[in-house]
């Protein structure tokens, strides 16, 4: 797995001050993607145990509210991310958000993507759509995207949204 950047402190991709990991590789090619260079799976730096240890150390700081996975497309990097997130879960009690161009209903049909999803607390799903762009929405770029409470969705067996009105 490769990554484009690790932000120790990020306030744009989930509530509070978060650590964000931007993986590379994405085949969605959304029009006006905000991270176009991260679509290339060969872009960035190879992930090692050093990066995992670094992320865990950030997440142990009291000012950090959680971890956010985005990219690129995290759900096209499940082989690399699943062991990383398992290590994070063993080391620290934290909230994990994942952004994906896939919708929830697609993710749960794929064994690897479902496995990564089940390690996360919140999913921001759906491809960015320029025609539905709305800078007033919480933590998402376009109104087709949903912010899903993964644990409640699994429990209730139906999609449960955080901020159903989007603001």
User: Which tens digit of pLDDT belongs to each residue from 69-80?
Assistant: 999 999 999 999
What pLDDT is stored for residue 29 in this prediction? 83
Cβ proximity of 120 and 96 under 8 Å: yes
Which carries the bigger pLDDT value, residue 26 or residue 112?
Answer: 112
Instruction: Please tell me the distance from the alpha carbon of residue 107 to that of residue 61, in angstroms, as a whole number.
Output: 31
CB atoms within 10 A of CB 68: 26
Of 23, 105, 107, 17, nearest in space to 70 by CA: 23
| Percent over 70 (pLDDT), the chain | 98
- Checking if the pLDDT of 61 tops 90, the result is yes
Q: The domain 2-156: what is its CATH number? A: 3.20.20.70
- Checking if the pLDDT of 167 tops 70, the result is no
What pLDDT is stored for residue 26 in this prediction? 87
Tokens 């759906």 correspond to: 126
DSSP bridge partners of 51: none
Instruction: Please tell me the distance from the alpha carbon of residue 78 to that of residue 102, in angstroms, as a whole number.
Output: 13
In this structure, what DSSP letter does residue 9 have? Answer: E
Rounded to 10 degrees, the C-alpha dihedral 23/29/35/36 comes to 110
Q: Which of 33-42, 53-62, 122-131 has the lowest mean pLDDT?
A: 33-42
- Checking if the pLDDT of 166 tops 70, the result is no
């Amino acid at each position: 797995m490769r990554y484009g950047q690790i932000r120790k402190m990020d306030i744009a991709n989930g509530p509070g001050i978060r650590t964000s990991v931007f993986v590379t590789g994405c085949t969605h090619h959304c029009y006006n993607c905000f991270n176009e260079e991260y679509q290339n799976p060969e872009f960035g730096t190879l992930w090692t145990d050093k990066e995992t240890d670094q992320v865990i150390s950030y997440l142990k700081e009291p000012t950090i509210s959680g971890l956010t996975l985005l990219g690129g497309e995290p759900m096209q990097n499940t082989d690399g991310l699943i062991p990383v997130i398992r290590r994070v879960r063993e080391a620290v009690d934290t909230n994990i958000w994942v952004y994906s161009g896939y919708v929830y209903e697609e993710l749960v049909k794929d064994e690897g993507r479902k496995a990564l999803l089940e390690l996360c607390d919140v999913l921001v799903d759906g491809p960015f759509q320029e025609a539905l762009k709305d800078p007033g929405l919480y933590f998402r770029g376009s109104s087709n995207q949903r912010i899903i409470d993964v644990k409640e969705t699994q429990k209730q067996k139906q999609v449960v949204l955080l901020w159903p009105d989007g603001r």
